[in-house]
Amino acid sequence: MDLDLRKLRYFVAVADRLHFGRAADDLHIAQPVLSRQIRALEHDLGTPLLTRDSHGVVLTDAGRQLLADGKKQEAMRVFQYNAKKYPNRWPVHVGLMRGYSALGDNKKALEEAKLALPQAPDEGNKKNLQNMIQQLEKGNDIN
């Protein structure tokens, strides 16, 4: 099944904020439209992603997994778009936010970025990414 990237972007916005109104404002769409899109996504996937009650919004287990996958998907989409739009702009810089994710997530993100660089004019970018992965494996911080 192909996942609608617009619905995924909407879901990530709600899941990050745990609030439909704030997410709708940030996305510049009406809240009822956002709610319908999230319900449609849940229907497409066949599982609830969010629990809604008078106290707010809570992610289900499926919602937590989709949020993690959705952020990676969105980051790779932006990375690939920029690589195609600016093919001659090298080196590529990959940034990781301190404290954002566990070692395994950072390592996986770097490995995925390395695979997304087949058009690099030289091996420098790939070697730099490999060095960052090795530093993480050694338990070192990446600055």
Reported confidence tier of residue 132, pLDDT bands at 50, 70, 90 = low
Question: Who's near 94: CB < 8 A, 6+ residues apart?
Answer: 109, 110, 113, 129, 132
Task: Delineate the domains of the chain, giving CATH numbers in brackets.
Answer: 5-65 (1.10.10.10), 86-137 (no CATH)
- pLDDT tens, residue by residue, 12-71: 899 989 999 999 999 999 999 999 999 999 999 999 999 998 888 999 999 998 888 877
pTM over 0.75: no
pLDDT at residue 127 tops 50 = yes
Question: Who's near 57: CB < 8 A, 6+ residues apart?
Answer: 14, 18, 19, 20, 50, 51
Mean of all residue pLDDT scores within the chain:
75
More confident residue, 49 or 124: 49
Q: Say what the pLDDT of residue 100 is.
A: 45
